Amino acid sequence: MRAYERLLKYVQVWTTSDEASDQVPSTERQFDLARLLESEMKELGLKEVHVDEHCYVYGTIPASPGYEQAPAIVLIAHLDTAPDYSGEHVRPQVWENYDGGDLTLPSGRVLSTQQLPHLPSLKGRTLITSDGSTLLGADDKAGIAEIMTMAERLIGQGAGEDDWQSGHGRVCVAFTPDEEIGGGAALLDIPALGAAWGYTVDGGPEGEVTYENFNAARADIEIQGVSIHPGDAKDVMVNASLVACRFNELLPGTQTPAHTSGREGFYHLTRMEGDTDHASLHYIIRDHDEAMYQARLETLRHITQTLNEQYGSGTVTLTVTEQYRNMIEKIRPCMYVVDYAVEATKEAGLEPCFEPVRGGTDGAQLSFRGLPCPNLGTGGYAFHGPSEHITAEGMDYVVEILMGIVRHAARHRG
């Protein structure tokens, strides 16, 4: 079975996570896909297959004879889809021999080459979309489908006669819940996996190999005003909403997501509420560079101090919560994990792409938990919205890359 055929089935299972929930998984519906995968993994012949109480799915492909001492690796993808857009009632559409131009989806939404300039490069491929009323869910059900297809081939079901004659080490498979809301790596049982390193299959175009991501924090600012009748307000009132506006004005206006790219960081105001008496601001802070990241946090502290000096002590309260760190810090000592992915990508006939992730991945958290874990592209584009799409051929490439990584890992000496 080709990977895209699995994708068409998986995306129809509703698995949207819920950032307002404090449970793991955040939505019970993620178990629907987890149990489906558990059944399929057992049918394929994976060992030690189970779903735990938190909706983590585990399985193992044992080493082939003679390769029992090779280091074990783990391949990881996530079950949930982003709550940014509806993931319910997904109706996947298959467009064979796509002509590379503007494409009108059944909902009337248009995939425009002006907004999505890479589309002409997909000409002649089999394009997969939603009907335009939902997201597709290739993030990250494409990663799941590619790992499952690799497992099928590795075990020997559907493999060619000369596949894997040279053997392979133990390969672990793990599918996690709640990645889209930042919780996917938290409860993964790394010791039970016994893997030396891993790869998340959760990126963009095929051939993408990423091992840099943002340093990330959340900043919550609470502002306590002094509310009084406006007729008696002179030299007494402190309008909390105006103080909130002042706080945002003191940040660099061009250092927002709309003005930055590549390795440039930003301050992103995600939510604000307020009235005269009380206001709040909520930001996410991002930067690839550690020194710049710390400087951004210091800027927030400085603004807080400045406004408290102006309006009175305790007017502004800043709380910073670290979310994740740049995985390159943990990847640098073991760059062979990247090298194997690069070699496998080249062997599949693609040129590796090394764009830093302008976000985070489960791999970042796992790397800091002791499991070095770069991220690989799935072949998908325009995630988290109704324009999301992927190609069958791109997914085939990813399966070949995963096969190549397993081959290289089996020969690791270190």
Distances (CA, A) of 118 to 101, 127, 134, 143, 334: 10, 13, 21, 21, 33
* Of 413, 338, 339, residue with least CA distance to 372: 338
Q: b/e map of 70-88 (b: 16 or more CB within 10 Å)?
A: bbbbbbbbbbbbbbebebe
Is 178 among the catalytic positions? Answer: no
Backbone phi and psi for residue 206, each to the nearest 5 degrees, phi listed first: -60, 140
Token match 């509806």: residue?
A: 86
Is 277 among the catalytic positions? Answer: no
Taking a C-beta distance cutoff of 8 angstroms, is the pair 398, 3 a contact? yes
DSSP state of 353: B
CA–CA distance, 90 with 93 (Å, rounded to integer)? 9
- Spot the catalytic one: 80, 208, 388, 396: 80
Distances (CA, A) of 293 to 102, 218, 361, 369: 40, 12, 18, 21
**Residue ranges in 250-361 assigned as alpha helix (H):** 290-311, 328-331, 336-347
- Estimate to the nearest angstrom the gap between the alpha carbon of 260 and the chain centroid: 20
- Spot the catalytic one: 179, 180, 212, 362: 179
In sequence order, what are the residues at sequence separation of 6 or more whose Cβ sits closer than 8 angstroms to the Cβ of residue 403? 150, 153, 154, 163, 344
- Residue 306, burial from CB neighbour count under 10 angstroms (0-12, 13-18, 19+): middle
Distances (CA, A) of 237 to 240, 275, 314, 317: 9, 12, 15, 18
* Of 24, 42, 5, 23, residue with least CA distance to 141: 5
Tokens of 365: 């958290």
DSSP state of 361: -
* Of 32, 42, 62, residue with least CA distance to 148: 42
Helix (H) or strand (E) holding 77: strand 73-78
DSSP state of 104: E
- Cis, peptide link before residue 25, omega less than 30° from 0: yes
Where in the sequence numbering do the catalytic residues fall? 80, 179
